[in-house]
Amino acid sequence: MGWVDAIRDHGNLLFIHLRDIRGIVQVVFDPGVSKQSCETAAALRQEDVIKVTGSVALREKGTENPYLKTGDIEVFAKELHVLSKSRPLPFQISEKAMVFGEELQSSPENVEEDLRLRYRYLDFRRPSIQELFIRRYEILKCVREYLDQQNFIEVETPILTKSTPEGARDYLVPSRVHQGHFYALPQSPQLFKQILMVGGMDRYFQIVRCFRDEDLRPNRQPEFTQLDLEASFIDEEFIYEVVEELTARMFALGGIILPRPFPRMTYREAMERYGTDRPDLRFDMAFEDVTDILQDTGYSVFRQVIKMGGRIKGFCVKGQAMALSKNVLQNEYAMKIVPSFGAKGMTWMKVIEGRLQSNIVQFFSEGELEELMNRFGATEGDVLMMIADVSTDLINRCLCSLRLHVAERLKLIPEDLHAPLWVTHFPLFELKEGELSSQHHPFTMPDRTDFDPEDKEALLQLNSRAYDLVINGEELGGGSIRIHDMETQQRIFQALGLSEEETESKFGFFLRALEYGAPPHGGLALGLDRIIAMILKARSIREVIAFPKNRRAVCPLTRAPSLVKQSQLKELGLKVEKGPEASATEALGAVQGDMAGNGVEEPEKISTEQVKHVAKLARLRLSDPEVTAFQKDLNAILDYVETLNELDTRKVQPMSHVLPIKNVWRADAPRKSNKSRSILSNAPRKEKSYFRVPKILEG
């Protein structure tokens, strides 16, 4: 039993591929075996669900299909039962060729992502998609098996919990019973797992769903899965050892061998050398500070920056002097690309015939040029890129963007290499809008406890016992050793400016637990969606999440989030305040609801990918500026519709449609005509009173 994957009609013989999650097998319908089954099979369409009874036989020599695991055999059908019929498909599902040398019919890369997610139940039928989720299950099984061997116990923590500051916005859930009060969906099980440690559970883990109402990025989702773990009576070395072994085992399931032990780098070193706390170490080009070399330089731009307390930093691009021409370096990078990153400009030099060359090299002494080559380790054919500014943060940020831009442009990043790294000793506090804030969370242990909670400058120099796991420039997880004594915890709250009332309101239940003898403990959370996507080489984390949200945090399948009835809001004691744009929003929502109810998708903001997709279908070649212009014009129309406050279309039925609502696909039933006899007289093959022709998909 399974789905009809592909059909090939060879006259008297009809072949189909029958597919289920275990694989694909070829079924042969031969009138000599069963005439009735052949007649029923002639009406089959792709994705019909059928049941076949027959005999398994070896294929004739030379007819084997190397594309199929079952390509050496076929099934001769004796009985055929159609269990369910399928409508015409919105996109091709079959990924297998029926004969040797034939290209694959379809792949996920060739279908618009939103269309695939809208029909996710069809997308799931693709063997390549099913394989991703089979492999995901195997990785999660590996996690549970290893942690079980290390005496960790899986414990489930609440989904409906208390809103506490975790660094991002909470999703709130109103209570019907306690009107005016709200649950929050957890950003992480942080406090619950620490309470489990206070409770003596010793080693805990959980594969848990977490929720964060934050701005979306390509590798983020509003809800995601993480591996959460915590252990008592341990230090950082225990976490490093356990997590390195676990990570290596997970990646090994994808045929990836991670080098051990993972190197370590402090936060400050990462920022100074790579401009980011998640550096990609698959390629070099680390930053060098050359301010000390150029203190008395004749180059006035550098001299003025140094005089104002600024710095000069840069990196060396090995062996790319030919690829980075003077025109590219000066007119593209120095004048356009680097300023777009926020810097005022860039200085470059090349090593040609053993000497540094550029349009400003005459302003530097021979000693300065020689020291620059030594500091960067520059040799023949190398290129130096430098940025000067009074802001170290700006220099690091711009050099980080420049480093990645150059590496991607010149294809310097090895695709099959994986470079893990522990980033350690993060600052305990940071400034946000002039106020002191925890960089991770307020339960992170500082590297020393003899700090003055009133000394703001000293607090900003305080490090934490926190650590992040980074691979290939992606942060895959992080954690810390936690505070386990009340005195230190209270001083942290004091440093953050929290009053006793605020502390009690937000964390009272947790702080009371610390008063009953808490063990030293620490833990970590790994983003499983990111890890699995990296292991399986998926294009994004959406590929390895069963029902993901799109880039606008909308579920294309269910159309969530959606409006709810006023009666539901009333039952919860809620009232939606109508701002100046409320009527337009309601009108748009009503139009969307009416359109969805009539089988029409609601309008959304147009993306550049959608413009390019339509252009491709129309056989148009658009430049990037043209794509941007089309996108701007189309979105301007949608924005204008949203401003039409006076329109109230809640009770207006759609008056016209581009196409009739009725299915316009041609039925696959043959039709008779008065001319059939004369037409059949020229037919190469006849069966009963019809042409015998191959089936085609009519567009």
Predicted confidence band of residue 669 (pLDDT cuts 50, 70, 90): low
Average pLDDT for residues 281-295, to the nearest whole number? Answer: 96
How high is the pLDDT of residue 584? 39
Q: Give the 3-state secondary structure of residue 377.
A: coil
Q: Could you tell me if 104 and 96 are in contact, meaning their C-beta atoms sit under 8 angstroms apart? A: yes
Predicted confidence band of residue 583 (pLDDT cuts 50, 70, 90): very low
Domain ranges for the chain: 2-106, 113-263+472-479+519-577, 283-413, 426-464+485-516, 584-654
Residue written as token pair 């695991």: 69
- Rama region for 135: left / alpha / beta (φ>0; ψ in -120 to 50; rest): alpha
Predicted confidence band of residue 499 (pLDDT cuts 50, 70, 90): confident
Alpha helices in 233-390 (DSSP H): 236-252, 267-274, 300-307, 326-327, 338-341, 366-376
> In sequence order, what DSSP letters do the residues of 569-603 get, joined into one string?
HHHTT------TTHHHHHHHHHHHHHHHHTT-PPP
How high is the pLDDT of residue 589? 41
Cα 362 from Cα 27, distance rounded (Å): 78
> In sequence order, what DSSP letters do the residues of 477-531 get, joined into one string?
EEEEEBP-SHHHHHHHHHHTT--HHHHHHHHHHHHHHHTTTPPPEEEEEEEHHHH
How high is the pLDDT of residue 585? 40
Q: Could you tell me if 185 and 211 are in contact, meaning their C-beta atoms sit under 8 angstroms apart? A: yes
Whole-number average pLDDT of the chain? 87
Q: May I ask the CATH architecture of the domain 113-263+472-479+519-577? A: 2-Layer Sandwich (3.30)
Cα 564 from Cα 174, distance rounded (Å): 14
How high is the pLDDT of residue 670? 54
- DSSP, res 420: E
Predicted confidence band of residue 693 (pLDDT cuts 50, 70, 90): low
User: If one looks up domain 2-106 in CATH, what number appears?
Assistant: 2.40.50.140
Cα 139 from Cα 251, distance rounded (Å): 9
Q: Which tokens hold the place of 410?
A: 């010149």
Q: May I ask the CATH architecture of the domain 584-654? A: Orthogonal Bundle (1.10)
Cα 605 from Cα 554, distance rounded (Å): 12
Q: pLDDT tens, 414-451?
A: 989 999 999 999 999 998 888 888 888 899 999 999 99
Cα 411 from Cα 413, distance rounded (Å): 6
Query: Do 2-106 and 113-263+472-479+519-577 fold alike per CATH?
Result: no
Q: Which tokens hold the place of 411?
A: 């294809």
pLDDT at 94 over 60: yes
Average pLDDT for residues 261-278, to the nearest whole number? Answer: 97
Q: Could you tell me if 445 and 487 are in contact, meaning their C-beta atoms sit under 8 angstroms apart? A: no
Q: pLDDT tens, 5-52?
A: 999 988 789 999 999 999 999 999 999 888 899 999 999 999 999 999
CA dihedral sign of residues 683, 685, 688, 693:
negative
pLDDT at 384 over 70: yes
283-413 CATH fold: Gyrase A; domain 2 (3.30.1360)
- DSSP, res 565: -
Average pLDDT for residues 586-600, to the nearest whole number? Answer: 38
**Bigger pLDDT: 103 or 170?**
170
**Bigger pLDDT: 251 or 565?**
251
Preceding omega of 561 cis (within 30 degrees of 0): yes
For the beta carbon of residue 117, count every other beta carbon within 10 angstroms: 18
Cα 533 from Cα 224, distance rounded (Å): 13
